[in-house]
């Protein structure tokens, strides 16, 4: 994997900086030619870069990123007849991430973390013998600091592990792979209520959005929407537990622990 990093890392950094620039400076009308000049790549290379990691071309990404309906909850289309069939022309759906999420019963003795390049920003992945316990973005919070606050009694050091690399492999295929991906064991500090919220979020498919209110209703108590919001914000496993798919009832993207701009990027890629 190390040898692959020498090729992948600069490409992902280039794409990350470009995507953030497109969001920050509202590049709504940009053309492939203009984007290619900024990237200092040929037009074919520019198209290939987006397809490689996003599974869509740059103009389609722009259209989705700045669509007024980006964060709107989809309404189910009424079936008029038993002979109606919807969705026959849908694009091939992406693979669903399958997590086995458990609450840590005892403080792990040892936790190992790794830092990986990624086109949505450098990621920090930590695990112990029972599963992944943290996956965060380094540009918004220092992963090792958060990890030590959560596990002050554990021995923590930087080291590549099979679990860390498995989680990273799933991340690399998150937006592009259509076959089933391996189940990721996740073992985190959490309350039973937080776990129930995260499991509800985990059941959301790509391009399927929910609100705090609808999540509370699915948990059996509409009055829990504020508590649901707190649980969503406490999620320690970015992207794989897709809290980015929880939006405001108003159709606004809303806040995101790792930046609203990043949430806009992810939703646009998944749209």
What are the residue numbers of the active site?
A: 243
Contact 132, 187 (CB under 8 A): yes
Backbone angles phi, psi at 180, to 5 degrees: -60, 140
Give the alpha-carbon dihedral of 228, 238, 203, 254, to 10 degrees.
50
Query: What is the distance between the alpha carbons of residues 7 and 173, in angstroms, rounded to a whole number?
Result: 16
Contact 195, 232 (CB under 8 A): no
Give the C-alpha distances (Å, rounded to integers) separating 121 from 118, 239, 253. 5, 12, 19
Closest CA to 265 of 66, 72, 118, 122: 66
Q: How remote is the C-alpha of 106 from its chain's centroid?
A: 28
The DSSP bridge partners found for residue 135 are: 125, 237
Contact 55, 175 (CB under 8 A): yes
């Amino acid at each position: 994997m190390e040898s692959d990093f020498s090729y992948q890392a600069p490409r992902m950094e280039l794409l990350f900086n470009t995507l953030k620039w497109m969001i920050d400076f509202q590049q709504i009308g940009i053309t492939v030619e203009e984007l290619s000049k900024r990237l200092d790549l040929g037009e074919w290379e520019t198209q290939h870069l987006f397809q490689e990691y996003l599974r869509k071309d740059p103009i389609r990404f722009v259209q989705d990123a700045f669509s007024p309906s980006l964060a709107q909850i989809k309404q189910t289309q009424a079936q008029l007849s038993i002979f109606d069939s919807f969705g026959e022309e849908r694009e091939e759906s992406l693979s669903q991430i399958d997590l086995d999420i458990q609450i840590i019963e005892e403080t792990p003795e040892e936790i190992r973390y790794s830092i990986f390049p990624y086109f949505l920003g450098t990621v920090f992945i930590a695990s112990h013998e029972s599963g992944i316990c943290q996956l965060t973005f380094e540009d918004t919070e220092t992963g090792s600091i958060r990890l030590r606050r959560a596990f002050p009694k554990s021995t923590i050091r930087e080291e590549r592990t099979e679990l860390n690399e498995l989680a990273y492999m799933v991340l690399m295929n998150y937006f592009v792979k259509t076959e089933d991906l391996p189940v990721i064991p996740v073992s985190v500090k959490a309350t039973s209520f937080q776990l129930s919220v995260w499991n509800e979020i985990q059941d959301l498919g790509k391009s399927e959005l929910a609100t705090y209110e609808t999540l509370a209703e699915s948990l059996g108590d509409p009055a829990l929407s504020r508590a649901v919001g707190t649980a969503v914000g406490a999620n320690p496993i970015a992207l794989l537990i897709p809290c980015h798919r929880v939006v405001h009832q108003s159709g606004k993207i809303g806040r995101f622990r790792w930046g609203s701009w990043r949430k806009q990027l992810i939703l646009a890629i998944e749209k």
